[in-house]
Amino acid sequence: MIKDITIGQYVPGDSFVHKLDSRVKILISLIYIIDLFIVNNFKGYIFIVAFALLSIIISKVQFTYIYKGLKPILILVLITAALNILMTSGSNPPLYHWKFITIYKEGLTLAAFMVLRLVFLIIGTSLLTLTTSPIELTDGIEKLLNPLKRIGIPAHELAMMMTIALRFIPTLMDETDKIMKAQMARGADFESGNLLQRAKSLIPILVPLFISSFRRADELAMAMEARCYRGGEGRTRMNILKLSSKDFIASICTILLVAVSIWSRMWS
């Protein structure tokens, strides 16, 4: 399951979505996430689902990558759905009642909304990283944060930190998988026992993982210093971000999605 985490991975391609300006993709992702919480009925989610599926098809990213990104949150989705079903009361007679378990129609509706929001939230963020290289993400985030430089916020350094964190998620997951297999070959058991025993069994994984992470961070810092990296001051770029007609088309489609979502909320 560790290798199934796709956040931070980049799949090279030449699709319409890959060619979009990174700033536009970041803003579209943020608007898409906000739109997920604007919608309060299933009519609005029809347009969100269609927008997400169309984006995946246009990006030419295989559905297996999206599926792998959803697998790690399956337990979280099920727990969220169960909590909403069991802890939401309603004004109408319950659909089911047994001892301390009472299920209302409102609980099922709220659980369905939360599941849809979580699933398509992961799909949207995964699609951003799958179609945008780390360098493009850094440039896009820095450009969007540039206005904050006037109040002393280091936009370039923040963008670099965020991108490095995303970039190293797959690397750390791969390192964790290797450590787990090495410890299991030495007789370690990570599956049996109660919750406290399982937590203790993770110590042989966490200690070498932290050591490896610090070593990688030190190697990265030395490599950046060897290349005379001194932050964003006076820094130039080989590829300058420029808006194209594709970016305007994508922006218009996103604005239409928000307009439809607001309309579905007002006329629900």
* Amino acid letter, 38: I
Please, what is the Cα angle at 253 between 248 and 254, to 5 degrees?
Answer: 95
Q: How many CB atoms lie within 10 A of CB 101?
A: 10
Q: Residue 1 — pLDDT band, cuts 50, 70, 90?
A: very low
Q: What value does the mean pLDDT take over residues 111-133?
A: 88
Question: Domain ranges in the chain?
Answer: 2-132+240-266
User: Distance between CA 229 and CA 222 in Å, rounded?
Assistant: 10
Residue 72 vs residues 81, 131, 168: alpha-carbon distances, Å: 16, 20, 17
Q: What value does the mean pLDDT take over residues 247-262?
A: 91
Q: What value does the mean pLDDT take over residues 252-260?
A: 91
* pLDDT tens digits for range 83-118: 888 887 777 777 777 777 788 888 888 888 888 888
Distance, CA of 128 to chain centre: 8
Which helix (H) or strand (E) segment is 22 a member of? Answer: helix 22-38
* pLDDT tens digits for range 42-90: 888 888 989 999 999 999 988 888 887 787 788 888 888 888 888 877 7
* pLDDT tens digits for range 225-247: 888 777 666 666 667 778 889 99
* Amino acid letter, 246: K
Pair 184, 261: CB distance under 8 Å: no
Pair 126, 169: CB distance under 8 Å: no
Q: Residue 7 — pLDDT band, cuts 50, 70, 90?
A: low
Is the predicted pLDDT of residue 4 greater than 60, yes or no?
A: no
User: Distance between CA 158 and CA 258 in Å, rounded?
Assistant: 29
Length of the chain: 268
Across the chain, the runs of DSSP E, i.e. the strands, are 96-98, 101-103
Pair 196, 202: CB distance under 8 Å: no
Closest C-alpha to 11, from 127, 119, 122, 171: 127
